[in-house]
């Protein structure tokens, strides 16, 4: 396990993923019934942007750094307020901290992180929070072992792997299908990199061919995905998105793509598969 999120925290990929995550959670919370969030690859939860790792890559400057310099556009107000509240601009909050902040008394967070040091950091960050549980375990195994959640029928599974294994798209596909099978009433959000188009197309085709219904993809490109050695963009694939996701995601991604990068960024939101008949 070489991947450390501290090098990448607050980059464009985090901004798009977290702004969409905040919207998804708020949408699920339109109903009073409890939700559970399973964060399969959680990271440490909070990142010091002055750390040696963050300074070495400087990736956050092209992401949250640029967003913080502008007045937040309406689509980003909620997310940006949370970033500031949770430490910005000196620190950047990761997915489990954003989720923890939004939990209502009836909601739960289950966060999995395999890296020992990162798991300990997350455990100490979440402290005595009784609504959150931190596990040091494989995130994909957790989907199999921890879903469906006890007594809670609604929720979100966030799958955000580091993509350091050559077959990560295959594992991601399998993870999505397991989550769908075990927690069919839940929403799934899976993050993926876009270096070049072919592996992304194969990933989408595999899910569509497997019959996974009600899938929407939200993608942000910093530049055309022509050089496969670079992270040219990324996507969040959402299964069973709450009502209004496509329009909201379009507005969120447009607000990000018009601010970050060097004027070449673009975004798109597409329905990959239709809703279940009768849904
Ligand atoms: C992209 S980062 C997660 C960032 C986090 N979701 C966020 O948005 O703030 C991926 C994390 O997965 C952890 N990891 C790697 N392999 C894992 C596995 N098999 N199961 C759980 N966590 C894993 C890494 O240590 C890393 O912290």
Can you give the CATH number for the domain in which 24 is found?
A: 3.40.50.150
Which residues form the catalytic set? 160
Distance 263 CA to ligand 1 centre (A): 30
Question: How many other C-beta atoms can be found within 10 angstroms of the C-beta atom of residue 278?
Answer: 4
Q: What is the pLDDT confidence band of residue 277, given thresholds at 50, 70 and 90?
A: confident
Pocket test for ligand 1, best of 25, 43, 98 (most atoms within 8 A of CB): 43
Residue 193 lies in a domain: yes
Instruction: Provide the domain limits for residue 134.
Output: 5-273
Instruction: Output the ligand 1 site: residues, CB below 6 A.
Output: 1, 3, 5, 14, 17, 41-43, 94-95, 112-115, 118, 138-139, 160, 162
pLDDT in tens, 144-198: 999 999 999 999 999 999 999 989 999 999 999 999 999 999 999 999 999 999 9
Backbone dihedral angles phi then psi of residue 38, each to the nearest 5 degrees? -105, 115
41 is in an annotated binding site: yes
CB-based contact 41:1 (threshold 8 Å): no
Backbone angles phi, psi at 162, to 5 degrees: -80, -10
Query: Best mutation site among 24, 41, 57, 170 for ligand 1, i.e. most ligand atoms within 8 A of its Cβ?
Result: 41
Is 279 within a domain?
no
134 occurs within a structural domain: yes
Ligand-binding annotation for 8, yes or no, is: no
Q: Is position 91 within any domain?
A: yes
Residue 9 lies in a domain: yes
Within 8 A by CB and 6+ apart from 191, the residues are 13, 17, 158, 159, 160, 161, 234, 235, 236
- Total structural domains in the chain? 1
95 labelled binding-site residue:
yes
Residue 159 lies in a domain: yes
Residue 212 lies in a domain: yes
pLDDT tens per residue across span 64-102: 999 999 888 999 999 999 999 999 899 999 999 999 999
Q: Distance, CA 265 to ligand 1 centroid (Å)?
A: 26
């Amino acid at each position: 396990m070489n991947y450390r999120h501290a090098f990448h925290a607050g980059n464009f990929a985090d901004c798009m993923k977290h702004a969409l995550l905040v919207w998804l959670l708020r949408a699920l919370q339109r109903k009073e019934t409890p939700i559970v969030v399973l964060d399969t690859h959680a990271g440490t939860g909070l990142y010091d942007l002055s750390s040696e790792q963050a300074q070495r890559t400087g990736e956050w400057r092209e992401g949250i750094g640029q967003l913080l310099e502008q007045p937040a556009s309406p689509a980003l107000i909620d997310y940006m307020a949370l970033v500031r509240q949770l430490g910005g601009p000196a620190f950047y909050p990761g997915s489990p901290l954003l989720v923890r902040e939004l939990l209502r008394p009836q909601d739960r967070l289950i966060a999995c992180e395999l890296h020992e040091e990162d798991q300990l950091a997350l455990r100490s960050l979440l402290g005595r929070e009784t609504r959150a549980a931190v596990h040091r375990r494989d995130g994909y195994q957790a989907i199999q072992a921890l879903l469906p959640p006890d007594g809670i029928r609604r929720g979100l599974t966030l799958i955000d792997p580091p993509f350091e294994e050559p077959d990560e798209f295959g594992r991601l596909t399998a993870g999505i299908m397991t989550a769908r099978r075990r927690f069919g009433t839940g929403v799934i959000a899976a993050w993926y990199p876009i270096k070049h188009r072919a592996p992304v197309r194969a990933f989408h085709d595999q899910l569509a061919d497997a019959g996974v219904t009600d899938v929407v993809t939200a993608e942000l490109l910093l530049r055309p995905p022509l050089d496969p050695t670079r992270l040219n963009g990324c996507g969040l694939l959402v299964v069973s998105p709450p009502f209004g996701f496509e329009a909201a995601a379009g507005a969120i991604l447009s607000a990000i793509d018009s601010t970050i990068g060097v004027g070449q960024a673009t975004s798109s939101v597409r329905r990959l598969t239709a809703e279940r008949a009768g849904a």
